[in-house]
Structure 1
Amino acid sequence: MDNSEQLNLLLIKLENLLLRQQGFEAEIEALKQQVRALQSGTTHIIEAQKVPPVVIAPPPRNTPPNAVAQNSAAPNSVPSPFQPRVNQPQSNFADTFKRENMVKSDFEKFIGENLISKIGILILILGVCIGAKYAIDHDMISPLTRIVLGYAVGAGLMAFAIKLKEKYENFSAVLVSGAIAIMYFITYAAYDFYSLIPQALAFILMVVFTSFTVVAAIKYNKQVIAHIGLVGAYAVPFLLSDGSGKVGVLFSYMAIINIGILILSFKKYWKPLFYASFGLTWVIFVSWRMDLGSDNKFFGLSLLFSTIFFLTFYITNLAYKVTRKEIFGFSDVVILLLNSFIYYGIGYFILAENKNSVELLGLFTLANAIIHFVVSLIIYKKELADKNLFYLILAMVLTFITIAIPVQLNGGWVTIFWTVEAAVLFYLARIKNITIYEKLSFPLIFLAFFSLLQDWTSYFDYYGNDSAITPILNVGFLSSCIFIGCFIWMFSVSKNKTEKPAEWPWMRQILSYAIPSILLLTVYVTFRLEISKYFDNLIQSTRVTLHQRIGTDEPNYEFNYNYETLKTAWIYIYTLFFASILTYFNIKKLKNSELAIANLTINLLVVVLFLTHGLYTLSELRDNYLFPDSRYFTISAFNIGIRYISMVFFALLIVQCYQLQKSALLKKDFKTMFDYLLYISILWIISSELINVLELSGTQESYKLGLSILWGSYSLFLIGIGLAKNKKHLRIGAMVLFGITLIKLFFYDIYSLGTIAKTIVFVSLGVLLLIISFLYNKYKHLIIDDVKVED
């Protein structure tokens, strides 16, 4: 009895046991119903039906397996009224049982027929090598005998493999692989170790072995044989090299071998063979070229053969997909990109190392773009593949054009080209739903922005030089304007909803925030830099040549640095105006909630900067006017007037903050925060103005007295506002301010004030405290009502 008959018998026994189990379950259910009927007093009693066991006869010997299913249904089976259908569970169990046995069988087959044979031939080769080494070390046989015996072992193994091919093809293929490996290394040993055969004969023999390997791989239809032939083919020139430096012969041989191997891999569609050939070729070539360094001895040869290898793999990779009509997978895209960029990197290195060809780098980059463009054009015209392949190749064209721009150009022109390219790609991606273009535009948008940042920083390299940059009429401003226009275009395109969902949603989410953020920053910095350029030119125009520096031939210069402080003041005015216009534009036109939050954050930051550093800058301008530090320049009263210009723009920003707080763009109520912002700003401004007036009048030492009285009066004002408008936070703020004023009075002011000043301050603050107390007593009902309302 073989295994299949025994398996069928066991399955039949299992089915019999399952049927008997179902019968027992039916009898038990009938007995339960009888018990329930007796307990309830019902006269009608259901008799338990005894289900006769169903027996399935085992199949006779030599019954074919497919006959078991026909005998599985017993003709004498009596159905029970309570008996459920059991056909499906039986079938599922049997199928599962069979599948498990098939998996075990396949695993056993893989080990027995495949893995063990490969391990065996490897061990055999190692054994032969160990035995040969032992014989060589002990001079047991002569060199010629060793080589002859090696060829004999290889030939015998080959003959035995061919004899077994008809019945045991897989095992025979493994033996053939081992025989070919032995032939390769015996030939190498005969040439290199013992010099028994000349180089030409060794080369011919190895070419014959390689050709035989290719034929054997086709006959056996086994990739493993082809891989052995591939490794042997690439090893031949290195094993037989005599150090003559004939690299032209080497790479010609490799090119021919590549074409043959790739035709084989193409015919059999053996992609691993293509990958192996690709990797070995470029590793050998790159290693050789990097080892040369800056040696230009093989300049033309390197470019020629790198181009041949690139085109060979490029055409083969595309031919795979075009003839098979397959969609490019991840590995195919990786190979395509690696092949293109390895070739470009090698070519760039070769051209850059030669001083006579550095100017050709941009042309070489464009040549790569043209190659990909021609291929994409052929694919599009002939309709050789789907659109995804066409877009992928076209993306390569755009990539090399992108690279060519910084290679050939510099400065703002790089930014202009990259920005326009990013905008066009983004437009095609969103409007035409070309996913790969959106992926390309994503890094290009940030590349263009970083290039613009580089342009901005390069401006400071010109600062201090004799050459001046004309504001507005310069390449930097032109590139920034084009950048702004392209990003406005992309922002408008991004607002249009596309029907096709994004393949990478995280990328689209990043762009939804990055594009408007970069746009706002660019608009602000662009005009800020032009203001800086204008005042930097003014500073350079005021240069006065003084005496020669001690110990040097360079003269000493004097500049009107008041323009530097004026530049800072105008930048603050411009910043206040920019934040105001941005807020107004969002409230009236865009009505964007996310931008409203950004408006609020920007406005608060600008207010804080102006109240701190901005007012300090204005005070420096006043000091420059009152106490000029150079006799060569005249400081005008505009240093004082610009203060009030800035106050107007600051008030404009406060108004826009109020409008933003009133609009429905902010989801939370910021009334309390705006009150604090408004009244703190007013206090800060009038305190600064008080100091300014005292400085201009020549009584600057009285500012301590004046500030204390001013803060006390302002506290009274806040109390009045808080009572009139029922704003508890204003009244609390007034008390805090009055407390700060008293602390300042007793711990700071009192030591530097004279008797009259002390009297004035104490009387004034005392009167203010009495007025505040009176107001609280008079309007306490308003305070109580206010508290009740809040409760």
Structure 2
Amino acid sequence: MNTNQEKIAILSEKMNALIKKHQVFTKEIIQLRDELKELKSAVQKEPKSTHTTQSIRTTPAKTETPPKKQIQQQPATPHTIRKTPRVKKKSNLEKFIGENLISKIGILITIIGVGIGAKYSIENNLINPITRIILGYLAGAGLLFFGIKLKKKYKNYSAVLVSGAIAVLYFITYAAYDLYQLFPQILAFILMLIFTAFAVITAIQYNKQLIAHIGLVGAYAVPFLLSDGSGKVEILFSYMAIVNIGILIISFKKYWKPLYYVSFGFTWLIYLSWHISEFSVEKNFSIALIFALLFFVIFYTTFLGYKLLQKEVYKNRDAILPFLNSFIFYGVGYAILVDHPTGKHLLGLFTLGNAVLHFIPGVIIHRLKLGNKSLLYFVLGLVLVFITIAIPVQLDGNWVTLLWITEAALLFWIGRTKQISFYEILSYILMLIGFFSLLHDWGNFYGHYSLHAPEKKITPILNSCFLTAIICMAGYGFISFLDQYKNDTSPLKKGSLIPKIASFLIPAILIIICYNSFLLEINAYWDQLYQDSHIHKGDLYKTNETLILFKNIWSILYSLIFISLLSLLNTYIIKNKYLSIVNTLFNGLCIFLFLTIGLYTISELRESYLNKEISEYYTISYFTILIRYIALVILGGAIYALYKQTQHLISEFNIGFLRPLTELFIHFVIIWVASSELIHWLDMSSAEQSYKLGLSILWGIYSLFLITLGIWKKKKHLRIGAIVLFGITLIKLFLYDISHLGTIAKTIVFVSLGILLLIISFLYNKYKHIISEENED
């Protein structure tokens, strides 16, 4: 049903446009017909030229092709004849000036002339005040009389005269009241109110906005012209409300949007100026709130009246004034209530009341099937906006975030499935607001309890902030799923950047929330244990620093687990190219952080286990050693995930250069971990000085392994990597090891590395044909 109404509205607009075009074409046809008659009469009166006739008769008999110049010159005579009568045609500009502009300038000059004459008579006391006022009213009445008399034949000209007459009557009344004190205030007020009503009625009768605008400007000028400085603002606002109701009546009769815009601007400008300069909670609380509500309702009803009675199709630009009207009223009302001792506790209720003010017309439009769906969605959108604002006004903490995310998911679902662009845009705004609200909740919750209130404990996982984050994950996950599977059904215009940016931003926010939710729980758990480990007795102050080390290593291990699972999920299920690239980079970064910071932290735990300095105060368990192998298993999973992710990129998107880079990176990780493991066991066996010798031999053996593997698998990058590693080993040997090793150790390392070099050289010579074939390929 609503679809048919929309079609009817669109077809009506098209029909009106065609009627206007038809009228224009009719005028042009009449003008062309008159011009044709004049041309025919001109041709009949003109004597025929012998030369022209002869030229016309002889031209077809010629066998030669006439020169191009002659062909171009032959139509010159009729063309010249056709141009002659065009001088007589009256142009549109001439018509506008003669019939429209001159009359307006004339009435303006007449009013100025009357004013100059009146000023001269006043300055020279030629006419007494009563006579001046009487003459002024007679002049206005004369203009009005002639204007009404000429209406039948000269409507536009008559409208100008009537407009001038109304302006004269306004200011003559003002002069009688203010300059000469001939009228009391109440009489002047009644007269100007009559003139305003007359202007409104006349504007409707003439169907001219000009008269209505003059009456409107005069109406708003009345209270200021007749003000006695008493400060009775209720009289001013009552008068403005009456004027605006008149505008509302006109809006139901005529489709005059500029009148609505001007009255909207005048009303709120006057009200806000008073509110800023003179408003007092003690004196004006009720008056300010009542009239703000009244003005809001009048303009909101006027807006709906335009759309419903005129059956105008709602467009996005139409939202500007209703939005301004709603938020000016809400802002003014909030400012009035916030300073009131009781009102400040009703701000949430006031915000919900604004939602109800929009909900009622929405229900009426829906039940009576008025207007099109776009208007209904806009009105309901305002309801949702004020419900959204009411959430932080009335509630606090995690409830705000939960309701915002839930509302964002609901609006996105409605906007995407029902093709309502306004709702989808609103959902994007709420997504960002909800995300920043969650960040704020995290800062308040974890930062407050772990640092500022250590005596208050956080129950791991089973706490309000973590449960809020889980619901947020579900909300953003639903939005991301819907965006992926209904990506082509966005109601926003094709080519718009908003859906494209959102398709990257929503999954990014989801990943950030998932990652941080568990990371914050891990950090909070270890922070609480650290806070509980404080020992402060007299001069003794101790803390268990191994707990901070555990916190750091578990944060790194969690990052490895998270990014590995995300990589595998994307490899086998999601298969998103951009996510694959981001995962690969972050996976490599997390592995590098483990190799640098993680292995160092694990070595610090080993030192705390071996040192035994704090063992008399705290129990140092064997887990400080076992954590190393748990970490290595997790590292192995991360390497596997990285390998699978890069294989997916290579096969699906033909990114071939990743293969050698990945293999070299994996071997780099293996030699780093093997070196760390060697140092670990040498340290555990109290043979710290032997690690220099052991590292050199280990690197040399691994170089031999890489060259063997490179020859076997025909992988040049592995052989080059092995040569680089062996070169680093030799540099270490000559620049570092020699100065720190004893004679026996030097002998062992030199002999070992020499033998390894000989084996490597033998392999290159034995399998040189395989290497050369590979290079040729």
> Is this a same-fold pair by TM over 0.5?
yes
C-alpha offsets along residues 618-674 of structure 1, whole Å, 9 cap, x if unaligned?
233233334467564343332222122111101111112222333444432332121
Aligned partners of 1:538 and 1:30: how far apart in 2?
A: 116
Q: Which amino acid aligns with 1:317?
A: F
Q: Does the 8 Å contact 1:591/1:665 carry over to 2?
A: no
Q: What's the TM-score once normalised by structure 2's chain length?
A: 0.84
Give a deviation string over 1:226-278, Cα, whole Å, max 9, x none: 11111111111122222222111111111111111220232122221122112
- What residue is the counterpart of 2:63 in the other structure? 31
For the structure 1 residues 130 and 502, does the alpha-carbon distance in structure 2 shift closer, same or farther, using more than 3 Å as the test? Answer: same
The match for 1:611 is 595
Alpha-carbon separation, structure 2, partners of 1:745 and 1:140: 120
CA deviation string 1:376-420 (max 9, x = no partner): 112111112222222222222222111111111111111111111
Q: 1:100 to 1:625 in 2, by over 3 A?
A: farther
Does residue 490 in structure 1 map to residue 474 in structure 2?
Answer: no
Cα RMSD of the aligned pairs, angstroms, is 3.7
Amino acid in structure 2 at the alignment position of 1:235: A
**Match for residue 264 of structure 2?**
278
Deviation at 1:595, TM superposition (A): 3.2
SS in 2 for 1:463: helix
Distance 1:262 1:696, change over 3 A: same
* Match status 1:768 vs 2:756: yes
Q: Indicate conservation of the 8 Å contact 2:289/2:333, yes or no.
A: yes
For 1:513-662, what aligned pairs fall within 5 Å after superposition? 513-547=504-538, 558-627=542-611, 632-662=617-647
- Check conservation: 1:592, 1:665, Cα contact below 8 A: no
Q: Is the 8 A contact 2:534 2:541 kept in 1?
A: yes
- Report how far residue 538 of structure 1 moved: 1.4
Could you say what secondary structure the match of 2:536 adopts?
Answer: strand
Give, in whole Å, the separation in 1 of the partners of 2:377 and 2:423.
Answer: 8
Match of 1:471 among 457, 460, 466: 460
In 1, Cα distance between the equivalents of 2:42 and 2:542? 112
Q: Deviations over 1:556-604 (max 9, x none)?
A: 9754332222112112111211222222223333344443333323322
Preserved contact between residue 420 and residue 491 of structure 2 (Cα < 8 Å): no
Contact 1:369/1:398 (CA < 8 Å) preserved in 2? yes
8 Å Cα contact 2:204/2:253 also seen in 1: no
How many residue pairs were aligned? 726
Matches of 1:433 and 1:99, distance apart in 2: 55
Give the superposition deviation at 1:739. 2.4
In structure 2, the partner of 1:221 is 207
Bigger fraction of residues in helix: 2
Percent identity for Structure 1 against Structure 2: 52
For 2:366 and 2:57, locate their aligned partners in 1 and report how far apart those are by CA, in whole Å: 71
Q: Where do residues 329-344 of structure 1 align in structure 2 (5 Å cutoff)?
A: 329-344=315-330
Contact 1:709 1:764 (C-alpha < 8 Å) held by counterparts:
yes
| In structure 2, distance between residues paired with 1:292 and 1:560 | 64
Structure 1 residue identity aligned to 2:473: I
In the alignment, is residue 300 of structure 1 matched against residue 283 of structure 2?
Answer: no
Between 1 and 2, higher relative CO (CA 8 Å, sep ≥ 6) is seen in 2
Q: 1:5 to 1:227 in 2, by over 3 A?
A: closer
Query: Pairwise mapping of residues 74-85 of structure 1 onto structure 2 (< 5 A)?
Result: none
What does 1:175-190 correspond to in 2, within 5 Å?
175-190=161-176
Distance 1:780 1:688 in 2: 34
- The DSSP-based 3-state class of the residue aligned with 1:545 is strand
The answer to whether the 8 A contact 1:484-1:523 is kept is: yes
User: 1:518-568: per-residue Cα shift (whole Å, max 9, x none)?
Assistant: 2222211111111122212212222333449xxxxxxx9754332222112
Residue 737 of structure 1 pairs with residue 721 of structure 2: no
* Residue 110 (structure 1) aligned with residue 96 (structure 2): yes
Query: Is contact 1:470–1:533 with CA below 8 Å preserved after alignment?
Result: no
Task: Note if 1:718 corresponds to 2:709.
Answer: no
Q: What residue is the counterpart of 1:460 in the other structure?
A: 447
Q: Does the CA contact (< 8 Å) of 2:174 and 2:225 recur in 1?
A: yes
2:58 and 2:349 mapped to 1: Cα distance?
Answer: 89
Partner in structure 2 of residue 552 of structure 1? none
- Which residue of structure 1 lines up, in the alignment, with residue 16 of structure 2? none
1:512 aligned to 2:503?
Answer: yes
Pair 5,398 (structure 1): closer, same or farther in 2 beyond 3 Å: closer
Q: CA deviation at 1:501?
A: 5.9
TM-score, scaled relative to structure 1: 0.83
CA separation in 1, counterparts of 2:41 and 2:537?
A: 116
Task: For residue 13 of structure 1, report the CA deviation from its aligned partner.
Answer: 7.5
Distance 1:498 1:511 in 2: 11
> Which residue matches 1:87?
none
Query: How far off its partner does 1:33 sit?
Result: 8.9
Q: Deviations over 1:13-56 (max 9, x none)?
A: 89999xx99x979967972599xxxxxxxxxxxxxxxxxx99x9
Superimposed CA distance per residue, residues 174-214 of structure 1 (whole angstroms, 9 cap, x where no aligned partner): 23223322332333344334444332222122212212222
What stretches of structure 1 of length at least 5 have no aligned partner? 35-52, 58-89, 549-555
| Matching of residue 265 in structure 1 with residue 251 in structure 2 | yes
The one-letter code sitting in structure 2 at the alignment partner of 1:677 is F
